[in-house]
Amino acid sequence: MKKGGITLFGKWDEDLIWCPSQCHLRVKYKGEIYTLYLRWRHSDPWQGNVWKGKEEDFKKNEWSPDLFLKYHIQFKDSELKLAEKEIIRLAERYLSENKLKSKKLKK
């Protein structure tokens, strides 16, 4: 499904245990694969990041800052669906202004 300049692959993978709760969604933007990541801890608002690559690439590649914090937006624990919609919009905005890099693996 296409949302603006971002193509979504499938649905959100929601791991909603009490703390921390985490959600992932693979997307494509300008021919590159990225992962959108949401995380919630007990008393904090949702955090939203994007990294280049698939879910399993999270240790290898550069992450964005928390986009909700960067753009001054907060979602409480009960507002997951709103956070999921907003991180897609913010990721496109962030990626249009910044380039995330793949880290070169040491041999």
- Separation of alpha carbons 30 and 38, rounded Å: 22
Do the Cβ atoms of 99 and 32 come closer than 8 Å? no
In 16-104, DSSP assigns E strands to: 21-29, 32-40, 47-52
For the cut 70, the answer to whether the pLDDT of residue 103 exceeds it is no
Res. 3 pLDDT band, cuts 50 70 90: low
The percent of residues in the chain predicted with pLDDT above 90, rounded, is 56
> What torsion, rounded to 10 degrees, do the Cα atoms 93, 77, 34, 92 define?
-10
Q: Which structure tokens are listed for 1? A: 């499904």
Residue-wise pLDDT for 85-96, tens only, equals 999 999 999 999
Q: Which structure tokens are listed for 48? A: 């939203």
The pLDDT assigned to 106 comes to 44
pTM to 2 decimal places: 0.85
Residue 15: Cβ within 10 Å count:
11
The pLDDT assigned to 83 comes to 97
Residue-wise pLDDT for 32-81, tens only, equals 999 999 999 877 789 999 988 877 766 777 889 999 999 999 998 889 99
